[in-house]
């Protein structure tokens, strides 16, 4: 049985659609990110799952669905135990910090001390 690698092209298409016109292409980008996420999950490809999840969370954040975005991304980020110096994990951490600050302060602006845990 040959395993098909995750199709990063779905995520890339979603990124392009999202960048072109966030409002008009949001649904199409959402569908592509979800498809990339499902493929990565089927194949247990955590790195690709993180990339697709980060993209989907970024889209949801732009659509004012910040709590959903945080709730989607945080558990997957927490699954990782190493590789925190890699670009995908750095991007996920930055987005989580932004989402956490938005949840805490009620705006999209980053606050001083971002990156510290709740508490």
The four Cα atoms 64, 44, 31, 53 give a dihedral, to 10 degrees, of: 20
Identify the pLDDT of residue 9: 47
Decide which of 103 and 86 is more confident: 86
- Look at residue 114 and tell me whether its pLDDT is greater than 50: no
Kindly report the average pLDDT of the chain as a whole number.
Answer: 78
- Look at residue 8 and tell me whether its pLDDT is greater than 90: no
Nearest Cα neighbor of 46 from 10, 82, 15 is 82
**Residues 3 and 43: beta-carbon distance below 8 Å:** yes
Per-residue pLDDT of 67-81, as tens digits, reads: 999 999 999 999 999
Question: Which domains can be identified in the chain, with CATH numbers?
Answer: 8-105 (1.25.40.10)
Residue 11 in tokens:
């995520």
The model's pTM: 0.71
Residue 21 in tokens:
């016109």
Identify the pLDDT of residue 19: 57
Decide which of 104 and 61 is more confident: 61
**Residues 89 and 76: beta-carbon distance below 8 Å:** no
């Amino acid at each position: 049985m040959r395993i098909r690698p995750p199709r990063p092209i779905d995520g890339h298409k979603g990124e392009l659609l999202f960048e072109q016109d966030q409002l008009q292409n949001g649904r199409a980008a959402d569908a592509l990110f979800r498809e990339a996420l499902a493929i990565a999950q089927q194949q247990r490809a955590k790195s690709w799952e993180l990339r697709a999840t980060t993209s989907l969370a970024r889209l949801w954040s732009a659509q004012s669905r910040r709590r959903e975005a945080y709730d989607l991304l945080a558990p997957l980020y927490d699954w990782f135990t190493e590789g925190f110096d890699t670009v995908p994990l750095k991007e996920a951490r930055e987005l989580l910090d932004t989402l956490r600050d938005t949840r805490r302060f009620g705006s999209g602006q980053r606050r001083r001390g971002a990156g510290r845990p709740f508490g």
